[in-house]
Structure 1
Amino acid sequence: MSPADEKLWATLINVGGVFFSFFPALIGYLVLKDRGPFVRAHSATALNFQLTLIIAYIVGSILSVIVIGIFILIAAYVLNIVFCIVAAVKANQGQWYTYPMAIAFVR
């Protein structure tokens, strides 16, 4: 895969996390992981971040019985938007990026 194609797919995978949760990262990781190191790294880090957010959403939903859960859900939603956009910009520029606060499930 050419470097331009890798940048395009990495950008789309990161932006897709805003709209479709972990599905673009999972599909991108499974389909494109052997196509190049850049797209593999971005899809793996996006998948790790989205899986971490799922945990945050579950914890926030459980704790929404108490008021703190609502704040956890809002924070997770905002962090998803901000970090996915930052990662997409970095991917489009051809830079490597690792999401902060992401648990490393996939390498």
Structure 2
Amino acid sequence: MTTNPEHPQQPTGAVPPPPAAGYGQPGAVPPPPAQGYGAPQGGYPPAGYGAPGVGAPLNDSDQRMWAIFAHVGGIITYFVAPLVIWLVFKGRGQFVEDQSKEALNWHITLVIAYVVGFITSFIVIGFVLIFVAALAQLIFGILAAVAASSNQYYRYPVALRLIK
């Protein structure tokens, strides 16, 4: 059996004995509670959260921001961005829920217009319909985003109200 040169009485590879009065030992003093960044704040769920499965209610500026993203995101991704925003923030704020549903309905209507335009593109009317739908998507999307930025409810003029 070899011995450790620093501790001649302890063989190499042996486990050292536990400290006399450490944390978890009888008579030990527990560590102080965590403070500052990363410290736990209360129990579960954190304060301010609503019903189980629903996130914290959004404040007015966050609702306005997500409503703007729903309208502008629809210009880029058609109905995907408004759908995701509506599903994620449903129940967390009336304004963002209403405006994301409105943007979703508008962009579903536009997808229908694009499909009809594509099908009828063998005649000139299809190309005109696609052009008019793209122009309406851009103009009304910007108007809706501007209205949402000033906390106003916006209604698209010719949207099918499929999602209620």
Using the size of structure 2 for normalisation, the TM-score is 0.64
Q: Which residue of 2 aligns with 1:80?
A: 137
Shift of 1:99: 0.7
Give the number of the structure with larger relative contact order, counting CA–CA contacts within 8 Å between residues 6 or more apart. Answer: 1
- Structure 1 stretches of 4+ with a deviation exceeding 4 A read none
Residue pairs, 1:31-46, within 5 angstroms: 31-46=88-103
Tell me the distance in 2 between the aligned counterparts of 1:76 and 1:11. Answer: 20
Distance in structure 2 (CA, Å) of the matches to 1:83 and 1:71: 18
1:33 CA displacement: 1.5
- Distance (Å, rounded) in 1 between the aligned partners of 2:95 and 2:77: 22
Q: Deviations over 1:22-51 (max 9, x none)?
A: 111000111112111000110000000000
The C-alpha deviation readout for 1:53-90, integer Å capped at 9, x for no partner, is: 00000000000011100000000000000000000000
Q: Are 2:92 and 1:28 equivalent residues in the alignment?
A: no
1:64 alignment partner in structure 2: 121
3-state DSSP class of the match of 2:141?
helix
Counterpart position of 1:17? 74
- TM-score, structure 1 normalization: 0.98
What is the aligned partner in structure 1 of residue 146 from structure 2?
Answer: 89
Partner of 2:61: 4
Provide the aligned length of Structure 1 versus Structure 2. Answer: 107
* Percent identity for Structure 1 against Structure 2: 41
User: Which has a greater percent of helix?
Assistant: 1
User: Tell me, which stretches of 5 or more residues in structure 2 are unaligned?
Assistant: 1-57
Aligned residue in 1 for 2:49: none
- What RMSD, in angstroms, separates the aligned Cα atoms of the two structures? 0.5
